[in-house]
Amino acid sequence: MGTEEEVLRIGKKLDKLIAKNSFENALDILKSLKELPMTLDILQKTRIGMSVNNLRKSSNSEEVNGLAKTLIKSWKKLLNQNGAPKRTDSTSSEPSEKSQPESSKLERQDSGSTSASSYTPVQDS
């Protein structure tokens, strides 16, 4: 059996564990997955990263979650080695294109009174 077929088989096992919410064999399955020679092509074709990440989110086992994270990190390194751009956080210091939502844009109406001022929303045209 080729590596791709083996990864697909493991992915199906992981998906079944998640569906049953039973993670008793998860650690052994992840360990066998770790031993396989992984390529970017196999990762993309099998989408095994999705199954491993779903397992990580569903499991309460620190051991399972730790190994799942380790696998995902090593696979991300594979992705970065193959010339794919590294993802960046969306928290940049540059201001966004639309700095204020329309609902927060207010225009002051002068009521002639000095005690209170009122504000009404302005519609962008």
pLDDT (tens digit per residue) in 95-115:
444 444 444 444 444 445 454
Percent of the chain with pLDDT over 70: 66
Percent of the chain with pLDDT over 90: 60
- The string of pLDDT tens digits covering residues 9-34 is 999 999 999 999 999 999 999 999 99
Better-scored residue on pLDDT, 53 or 108: 53
φ and ψ of 118, to 5 deg: -120, 155
Residues 6+ apart with CB under 8 A from 33: 7, 10, 48, 52, 71
Average pLDDT over residues 41-59: 96
pTM of the model: 0.64
Query: How far apart are the C-alpha atoms of 72 and 11, rounded to whole Å?
Result: 14
Residue 91 has pLDDT above 80, yes or no: no
* One-letter amino acid of 106: L
Per-residue pLDDT at 56: 96
Lowest mean pLDDT among 12-16, 37-41, 55-59, 103-107: 103-107
Count Cα neighbours of 54 within 13 Å in the Cβ-side half-sphere: 16
Query: How far apart are the C-alpha atoms of 32 and 13, rounded to whole Å?
Result: 12
